[in-house]
Chain A
Amino acid sequence: MDTQLFHIFRNTPTGRETFLQSIYFCHLLGASPVVYVPKHTKFLMYFEKDVVQVDLDGSYLSASETAEKHARELAEAEGLEPKFFNPKNFTASTLPDIPVDFDFMCCPRSISDLTSKIGLGYIGSRVRRIIRSARFPVLISSPSFRQWHSVTVFFGGSGNAVNALKLGVRIARKTGVKLRLFTQVEAGMTRDDYERAIIESGLGDDMSEYVDDWLLFFGGRLEENLYDVPHDSLLVVGAYGHGLIRDILFGSKVETIQSVMPNNLMVAGPNYVDHAV
């Protein structure tokens, strides 16, 4: 149980939904929730090559006196003992440093904007930067708590897609849930091409052991094909590629998926390191 998920707790009904999602994830994966109850609206995350300043929405500081109690109650109800994180290092007196050596992080679609602004199709700039820089994947929770009973990996054959598949296998292995691949086949490509990419990335055995279903679409619009993805599935995607332009762009398919699907989304960035369990 040395896998840790980092969660910034918001003591509001919306924050509770996000936290329930974190707890559910920890429960299934056998991970420990590390909970940060912020005392300042700003904090810094020093990644290997970038420093990200997160400016939290003011609601993260609301009812701070009951925040820890609420978080503990929710976690203990699922048999988990949360670890509360207290920053030890400060860049400035009101600017704590948050470690970046967690295995997962959970956050809503935006952590800097008012909840009313958050909706499908919107992922805040801070969340995007965390995804781009972090070695851990980010669980972007659905607006209200929903359980998931399978994992769907979006696999397009690229390096990020391989990352996503590794992550999907890792989750499926730990949780025992069904693993499904989704591929929107690109022009001139065949199933063999994708299979070759999987084998070349050393995931051939995992593929045959864990993947139960492969949704391959040779035509149609991605938005329409996404209807075939179950509503209770955790979506796993790889965002950003390598190279200057790809470092800036989140990825057009990922943008479509996050605009259309209300499911929980697990995003592995370009710096994601696979901690094979």
Chain B
Amino acid sequence: MLKGLRRLPSKLLTIQPDDRLTLMVAGVMVGIASGLAALALNRSLEAMLEFVHHLSKYPWAFVVPGLGAAASAIFLDHIMKEGAGHGVPEVIYAVSRYGGLLRLRSSITRLVSSCLTIGSGGSAGPEAPVVMSGAAIGSNIAKLFNMNDRQRVTLVGCGAAGAISAIFNAPIAGLVFVLEVVLGEWSIVNIVPIALASVAGTEVSRFFNGNQIAFSHAGFDIGVADTVAAAGLGLATALFSILLTRAMRSMHHVSEGVKLPKWGRAAIGGCLVGLLTLLFPDVQGEGYHAIREMIVGAYDGAFQLAAIAIFAKILATSLTLGWGGSGGIFAPSLVVGSFTGLAFYRGVTLLWPSIPLVGEGCFALLGMAGLISGILQAPLTGIFLIVQITGGYEVILPLIVVSAVSTTITHYFEPASFYMKDLVDRGQLLRPGTDARVLNDLSLGELIEKDCLVVSPHMTLREFVDVVKRSRRNHFPVEEPESGDFLGMVDLSEVRPYLFDTIMYDAVVVEQIMDSKVKHITYGDELAEVLHIMDIDGLFSMPLVVNRRFVGMISKATLLDKYRKELMVQTTDNP
């Protein structure tokens, strides 16, 4: 044994850092950092809301959300020079196209700007900004350690997961959200570091805030009627998911039509929210206070008031985010969902008082899951988030039903989720292992074949045949000898009859047999586009021509060969 122990130090020296282990350690670091970022935003929001609360007694208080939104836009556009957006789509875009590369400044900008918007009373949530911040932290830690694309993407996921886990005290929700929404892939390589980051983020939150359940309740005794009713609630939440998605987008288009600087538009949106708040105080800020009341059954508004509150919150959120405020849609979705659940319960019990439903608090909770599942089209995120933030596993069956129905119906009318709609419209949602992603990761440069023999238009067929004998290819680019300009192509399969007719050898020149209207590619063309042209026209290869000069051939065979290799790289489980 002593002999074994003596050997131990030398053995320790030979231990090489394993890539997976490195990723796990880095994941924990990122989880802690993003947890701290989430905590910082939470504390700042609390302080700011307390300060702003004192102003609510003044008649001019409605301008406060406007001032906050304007300050947020000025901070983003003029001080930090960051392009505005909702945060999460930007993270998904970076993961899709650029191996998770995110700017360092993004780790701080959205925290401050969303704090200004939400803290002043704007209707938005802090979750998307902390996801952005956590993801940017992960991306930049990966850069610091010189990690590759796959590792960087995993750390981006770790950052997002740590942030969501910390802000909701919900590690599984953080993990599932990242895998389902942000990365769109479930692989062992990702799951382990992201799970550890979720734990780290949650522990940071618990260390400073204690192990608090965001929306605790007394417990629900779920029956069959509740599970059946959940299907109906799923329909309602799908409806409001679609409405919220469309309202946000149309409000964005309306605001773009207003010829004012961004901060001016944000101020208008904020002031309108301020006015709306005078009628419906529950629409301001993140709105968690109203959710707590609804879940414990203490919300005293009537059915009609709950129903109107749904529309008011949707309007307030659209005015805040659509007009240039900063923040996310997570929290507003939870509020709209809980109002929907409450209104649904009250509506059903009003129409059929004999149905033995468990209680309005439970339906408020189910409504939240329905809205989150619908708007994100991520049923697992909806289910696990609500289970964890309410501490209620007993509602799992109706939760599954409401989430499934809501996701399905919403998907039917809105094929892409709120976060991905823009990306899908622009063809920029490139999930790993998909055709679009593989083609995106290949470049024209790596496909060029430069072994074509160039011929002159004045060459006789006899001379051309000599060139054919020396060539391994069927395509011959024709170039003007003096200028080097590309004139066309000779395709052997098209001119074969001439090649065996020796009488033609001195009578025909290349210019007469070449195809001068050949379709060509140039730098900047997307490979998906190139492949599409090849498919439509039945081509097996196309010339690459830049500035009237022939550069090389792009062939389908080489493309598919590289495609296969790239697909293997993207789908193997190596970090």
| Known interface pairs A93-B83, A101-B443; A49-B93 also in contact (CB < 8 Å) | no
| Known interface pairs A1-B547, A94-B83, A101-B443; A85-B97 also in contact (CB < 8 Å) | no
Query: Could you tell me the distance between the alpha carbons of A97 and B93 in the complex, rounded to whole angstroms?
Result: 12
| Chain A residues near B83 (CB-CB < 8 A) | 42, 91-95
Instruction: Tell me, rounded to whole Å, the shortest Cβ–Cβ distance linking B351 to chain A.
Output: 45
- Decide if B220 is an interface residue (CB 8 Å cutoff): no
Given contacts A51-B103, A91-B85, 5 further A-B contacts (CB under 8 A): A2-B523, A46-B97, A53-B81, A53-B105, A92-B83
Instruction: Tell me, rounded to whole Å, the shortest Cβ–Cβ distance linking A19 to chain B.
Output: 17
| Known interface pairs A55-B81, A95-B83; A81-B548 also in contact (CB < 8 Å) | yes
- Number of B residues near A (Cβ < 8 Å) is 31
- List 23 interface pairs A-B (beta carbons < 8 Å), by A numbering: A1-B546, A1-B551, A2-B549, A2-B552, A34-B523, A46-B98, A46-B101, A49-B143, A49-B146, A51-B98, A51-B101, A81-B548, A83-B522, A83-B523, A83-B546, A91-B93, A91-B94, A92-B84, A92-B90, A93-B85, A94-B83, A94-B84, A99-B524
Q: Are A51 and B90 in contact (CB under 8 A)?
A: no
| Chain B residues near A80 (CB-CB < 8 A) | 547
Q: Which of A2, A49, A50, A90 touches B426 (beta carbons < 8 Å)? A: A90
Query: Could you tell me the distance between the alpha carbons of A80 and B445 in the complex, rounded to whole angstroms?
Result: 22
- Number of A residues near B (Cβ < 8 Å) is 28
- Decide if B428 is an interface residue (CB 8 Å cutoff): yes
Q: Which of B85, B98, B547, B552 touches A81 (beta carbons < 8 Å)? A: B547
- Decide if A89 is an interface residue (CB 8 Å cutoff): yes
Instruction: Tell me, rounded to whole Å, the shortest Cβ–Cβ distance linking A122 to chain B.
Output: 20
- Decide if B102 is an interface residue (CB 8 Å cutoff): yes
| Chain B residues near A4 (CB-CB < 8 A) | 523, 546
Q: Are B547 and A32 in contact (CB under 8 A)?
A: yes
| Known interface pairs A49-B146, A91-B93, A92-B85; A83-B101 also in contact (CB < 8 Å) | no
| Chain B residues near A53 (CB-CB < 8 A) | 81, 103, 105
Which residues of A are interface residues toward B (Cβ below 8 A)?
1-2, 4, 32, 34, 42, 44, 46, 49-51, 53, 55, 80-81, 83, 85, 88-95, 97, 99, 101
Query: Could you tell me the distance between the alpha carbons of A95 and B428 in the complex, rounded to whole angstroms?
Result: 15
| Chain B residues near A93 (CB-CB < 8 A) | 83, 85
Query: Could you tell me the distance between the alpha carbons of A97 and B101 in the complex, rounded to whole angstroms?
Result: 12
| Chain A residues near B426 (CB-CB < 8 A) | 89-90
| Chain B residues near A46 (CB-CB < 8 A) | 97-98, 101
Query: Could you tell me the distance between the alpha carbons of A101 and B443 in the complex, rounded to whole angstroms?
Result: 9
Query: Could you tell me the distance between the alpha carbons of A55 and B80 in the complex, rounded to whole angstroms?
Result: 10
Instruction: Tell me, rounded to whole Å, the shortest Cβ–Cβ distance linking B525 to chain A.
Output: 10
| Chain B residues near A95 (CB-CB < 8 A) | 83
Q: Are B102 and A51 in contact (CB under 8 A)?
A: yes
Q: Are A91 and B90 in contact (CB under 8 A)?
A: yes
| Known interface pairs A42-B81, A92-B84, A95-B83; A50-B101 also in contact (CB < 8 Å) | yes
| Known interface pairs A46-B98, A51-B101, A92-B83; A83-B143 also in contact (CB < 8 Å) | no
Instruction: Tell me, rounded to whole Å, the shortest Cβ–Cβ distance linking B244 to chain A.
Output: 21
